[in-house]
Amino acid sequence: MFERHSALAGALTLGGRDGTDGQRRLRIGEARGWGLVQIAAFTTALTELESAVRPVLNAELPKRIGEVVNVEGRRLLKTGSEQYWIIMTDGDDVARRLLDAVNPAIGAVTLLSHSRTCIFIEGAAVRGLLAAAIPLDFHPDVFDVGQFALTGLHHTPVLIHRSGHNRFEIFVMRTFARSVWEWFTDAALSMGYEVVAPPAVGSA
Amino acid sequence: MQAIQLISGATVLDVVGGTAVKGIVLTAPASSSKSPSNAGPSDEGALRTRRLDCDLVCMSGGWSPAVHLTSHGGIKPRYREDIAAFVPGGYAAGQFGAGALTGSFTLTAAIDEGIEAGRSAAFHSGHDRPARKPIPPAPEVASALAADGYGIEAIWQLPDGRSAKAFVDFQNDVTVKDLNIAHQEGYRSVEHLKRYTTLGMGTDQGKTSNINALAIMAGLRGVEIPAAGTTTFRPPFTPVAIGALAGRSLGKHFRPIRRSPIHDWHLVHGAEMIEAGLWMRAWWYRWAGATVESAYVEEMRLVRNGVGLSDVSTLGKIDVQGPDAAEFLDRIYVNGFSKLPVGKARYGVMLTDDGAVLDDGTTTRLSQTRYFTTTTTAQAGEVMSWLEFLLQTAWTDLKVHVTSLTDEWAGMVVAGPKARAALELALPGHDLSDAKLPYMGSLEIEVYGVPLRLIRLSFSGELAYEVYIPADYGVTLWEQILACAAPLGIQPYGLEALASLRIEKGHVAGLELDHRNTLDDLGLSKMASKVTAFVGRELRQRSLFQAPERWSLVGIECLEPDMKLRGGSILFAATDRIAGHGRGYITSVTWSNELEKFIALGLYQGGLKHAGEEIVCVYPLKGEQVKVRVVTPVFIDPNGERLRV
């Protein structure tokens, strides 16, 4: 049996820290138990790709970048002009079915489940923390729950998804995940933070 | 409640403090009758000033309409003196402005103009122009802003007479003095001013500085502000959090660190780490010695005589998919990939569009329409950007999609005469024979349901395999190989040994691929296709790149047993006076167990035409001169017999 090891395995055990007022205003952790597959249409083949994946996803692909379509436990995100991410739960065989459904002449299907680490941050102070990290306005009037953005954080490209009023999930490149985690926990020192223990590690 | 004193009509003349703000010097407000409690008024020059202690200074430059859309549409902004700001100089057909965009900063005006813009838009869209309806008064109706309108007094530059610096662009540290110098040196155009001083080129793109600088420049030229002109307005279009502009690039967070999936294992098992770009890599291991000098030599010996395991997760890895993938690779590499059979790998070299070598790597054909390409660690990001650039701009007709897999896959190399035996122990039940997995062949298998990709190729010059596995399983596979192959004496080896083994084999790497060298310089010109066109094909033929005396790749062997060679050393002919830049330099150096001497790769004027000649290697920083000989860069196994066992 092969055991999986998260990029944050060493960091998650370090615990939280009280803020300057003794409070812990943020909760930070790693979201696990998900997979990621990318689909992309070749030039002029977007319509064919949409037709090919519609029966698999039981949904239309999102029309604009920033919009998330939630369907059957999956999140569909448009991440490029003709490119999409599908985030699913572990055990979902949608990646295999997409590989079967998409003719290599019309589009590309790429498995990326190990390429990203998902860090979540939640709490009333979360917007204050993000204001020092990401050059976007996260006021709910501008960046609503369910919305996502492709942006930069600590000089690395990330996808940030607002999954709740005071909760954000940030998909970080795996090899930078520990560095981004350390950046977050350093920036959160004055607010105080609690590290949320991850669930048991999966294995193959 | 904070007792913050409001002083209106005053101006901050100076900021006091060295490493932190300690106070400000204010000009006395015209109508103020008393001074702040912690300071006293004083006369300085012609101005009446006072000192006020504080630790924070904020500034406001008033409102500036976001004229980007019309500006990018080719419509010059128009300056409005009453609000000291630029507004759109007009609108394209179907565009209608309202509110702050037009320079109207009250809610009442915004609503009024919004209704009018809406009516115009409806009419433009083919509807009747709807009649205006009365609207209720806006909540601000009683405010001072609504009563008095938006008023701003433009103070572009404070009266002089002080020695303190007067910053105009706080992001790029451009001062009034810099603008004066630019003007004195003849930079009249605002475009030239910008490029000469870097004004407005910070992350705010001049949002806090351009208007002030234009006004000062206009004053220097003796023209009105509109005559000074504007540059094209650029993003950000929307406000950016000040915290994000300030950032937290401090201490160990100055820049991100990139870690391999096997990083923590290296730390626990005695690896000394070294920075390689943003990566932290295992440099050498304590099992092999107490210092890098002793350890890497031992690790090399292990690979040449037994079997070693090295983490190469840092290699750039790119998924290339599509019906035109083969055509795409034919264009970006100097050698062809269309005829590469499925299941085979091939070494490739790509050029920049001006004909210099950009990078090298190995590409494996996984199916008729899918390839797995690796790049050097150093050039991974640049190559990925280059490929995307070509697909999005030059070859939009190609049906190809590229995706970085650098983070998706962990990579490791099993190298040495016992490499196959080691993998057979680690992956029982899989046929890894020479017939099944020959040199430059690839194999995709599953272990416990986890996909594994094996490619038989060699950087070290020994029998070797690159093994790739999804990143979360990287350390598990690493430990399995070490545990299962322990009876063969397997040990990990680090970057120093990895880089030294390839020197013995004469393989070029990042130190030789510095974007200045050509295929001919590196002895790779025979790879170039004579049939298909590829990026850089024409410009690599230009006369300067074909000059016979260019510095080109040679091997260097040390002729003095008690001396060592050093990277960066300058090479001179034996009869040369030792001065200046010499005839070349050493790019990479190592101790060779096989030859029992220091050897090196280097670039030397005329290259291998001088093979066999004794020359001089000079390291001025230590005052060292060593006699060396120019030799072929392939020091071991020139026929590649070890690779094919």
A141 contacts chain B (CB < 8 A): no
Q: Which one, of A71, A74, A84, A65, lies nearest residue A34 by Cα?
A: A74
CATH 3.30.1560 fits B167-246, yes or no: no
What is the extent of the structural domain holding A149?
A: 12-32+115-195
Average pLDDT score, chain B = 91
CATH of the domain at A143: 3.30.1360.120
Q: Which one of B311, B401, B477 makes the best mutation probe of the A interface by having the most chain A beta carbons within 10 Å? A: B401
Question: Do A26 and A69 lie in a common domain?
Answer: no
- Looking at A111, A138, A161, which one is the last position of a domain? A111
CATH number listed for the domain at residues B280-313+409-501: 3.30.1360.120
Helices (H), B81-189: 107-124, 144-148, 176-184
Contact B322 A108 (CB under 8 A): yes
Write out chain B residues lying below 8 Å of A176, CB-based: 256-259
pLDDT of residue A34 exceeding 80: yes
Do B350 and B334 contact (CB within 8 A), yes or no?
yes
Residue located via tokens 């040990």? B491
How high is the pLDDT of residue A73? 94
pLDDT of residue B436 exceeding 60: yes
Contact A112 B408 (CB under 8 A): yes
Instruction: Reduce the DSSP state of residue A59 to 3 states and report it.
Output: coil
- pLDDT (average), residues B184-188: 91
The DSSP symbol for B573 reads E
Q: Which of A5, A40, A155 sits opposite B472 (nearest CB)?
A: A5
Question: Do A102 and A128 lie in a common domain?
Answer: no
How high is the pLDDT of residue B151? 74
Write out chain B residues lying below 8 Å of A5, CB-based: 261, 472-476
Question: Do A107 and A124 lie in a common domain?
Answer: no
Question: Do A74 and A123 lie in a common domain?
Answer: no
* Nearest residue of B to residue A36, measured between CA atoms: B408
pLDDT of residue B632 exceeding 80: yes
Q: With respect to residue A143, please indicate whether it lies within any of the assigned structural domains.
A: yes
A104 contacts chain B (CB < 8 A): yes
Question: Do A52 and A28 lie in a common domain?
Answer: no
Beta carbons within 10 angstroms of residue B101's beta carbon: 19
Give the tens place of pLDDT for each residue, A110-146.
Answer: 999 999 999 999 999 999 999 988 988 899 999 999 9
Do B495 and B342 contact (CB within 8 A), yes or no?
no
- For residue B50, which amino acid is it? R
How high is the pLDDT of residue B231? 81
Question: Do A62 and A82 lie in a common domain?
Answer: yes
Contact A204 B449 (CB under 8 A): yes
| Cα-Cα-Cα-Cα dihedral sign, residues A134, A135, A138, A142 | negative
Domains of chain A: total: 2
| Least confident piece of the model among B184-193, B313-322, B457-466 | B184-193
- ipTM of this model? 0.96
**Angle (nearest 5°) at CA A39 between A79 and A88:** 85
How high is the pLDDT of residue B170? 87
How high is the pLDDT of residue B36? 40
The DSSP symbol for A3 reads B
CATH number listed for the domain at residues B316-404: 3.30.70.1400
To the question of pTM greater than 0.80 for the whole model, the response is: yes
How high is the pLDDT of residue B30? 52
CATH 1.10.10.60 fits B548-645, yes or no: no
Question: Do A100 and A130 lie in a common domain?
Answer: no
Q: Which of A2, A4, A135 sits opposite B244 (nearest CB)?
A: A135
Contact B319 A116 (CB under 8 A): no
Average pLDDT score, chain A = 93
Give the tens place of pLDDT for each residue, B353-397.
Answer: 999 999 999 999 999 999 999 999 999 999 999 999 999 999 999
Q: With respect to residue A121, please indicate whether it lies within any of the assigned structural domains.
A: yes
Q: Which one of B407, B450, B468 makes the best mutation probe of the A interface by having the most chain A beta carbons within 10 Å? A: B407
Q: Measure the CA–CA gap between B397 and B419, rounded to whole angstroms.
A: 44
A139 contacts chain B (CB < 8 A): no
How high is the pLDDT of residue B40? 43
Residue B139 main-chain phi, psi, to 5 deg: -60, -25
Q: Which of A104, A135, A179 sits opposite B369 (nearest CB)?
A: A104
**How many percent of chain B have pLDDT more than 90?**
74
Q: What torsion do the CA atoms of B576, B579, B584, B587 make, to the nearest 10 degrees?
A: 130
Give the tens place of pLDDT for each residue, A157-179.
Answer: 999 999 999 999 999 999 999 99
Write out chain B residues lying below 8 Å of A158, CB-based: none
Question: Do A58 and A92 lie in a common domain?
Answer: yes
pLDDT of residue A46 exceeding 80: yes
- pLDDT (average), residues B465-494: 98
How high is the pLDDT of residue B33? 41
Contact B403 A112 (CB under 8 A): yes
* Nearest residue of B to residue A128, measured between CA atoms: B243
Give the tens place of pLDDT for each residue, B532-555.
Answer: 999 999 999 999 999 989 999 999
Contact A133 B236 (CB under 8 A): no
pLDDT of residue B15 exceeding 80: yes
Of residues B325 and B136, more confidence is placed in B325
A115 contacts chain B (CB < 8 A): yes
Write out chain B residues lying below 8 Å of A3, CB-based: 473, 476
Provide the residue ranges of all domains of chain B, joining segments of one domain with +: 11-53, 68-148, 167-246, 280-313+409-501, 316-404, 548-645
Instruction: Reduce the DSSP state of residue B502 to 3 states and report it.
Output: helix
Question: Do A38 and A81 lie in a common domain?
Answer: yes
Residue A160 pairs in a beta bridge with: A149, A170
How high is the pLDDT of residue B29? 61
- Looking at A111, A129, A159, which one is the last position of a domain? A111
- Looking at A111, A139, A162, which one is the last position of a domain? A111
